Amino acid sequence: MPTGFPGEGRGPSSKRHFFQKICPITVEARFKVGWTFEGAKHFISQNEKLASHRPWLLQLFAAIEGENRAAILAGLREARASFQTVGK
């Protein structure tokens, strides 16, 4: 399993270049998602089938709504670590 996120300098440069072209978070330090996930978060908080994964899912959306690229990537790393422990 890869240990980094796109644009962090791991893997072949051609793959990094591809991600930089299609995903601005890989190159823009001031990147911020331009929408909210209030509807998705509400659904997650209300749906009982998602109860066992609720904390992780809400953490994931909180990470995506970070203030900038660094905050988003840090939050995604934390969410990924939490996810890996959910199924164990």
> pLDDT 10s digit of each residue in the chain, 88 long?
455 555 555 555 555 555 555 565 556 677 777 888 999 999 999 999 999 999 999 999 999 898 888 898 899 899 888 886 655 5
**What are the sequence ranges of the domains in the chain?**
1-29, 32-86
Which pair of tokens denotes residue 83?
Answer: 């996810």
DSSP annotation of 66 reads -
pTM (two decimals): 0.62
| Dist CA 39 CA 16 (whole Å) | 32
**Residue 24: what pLDDT?**
58
Q: Give residue 32's Cα distance to chain centre.
A: 12
Residue the block writes with tokens 């996810």? 83
DSSP annotation of 47 reads -
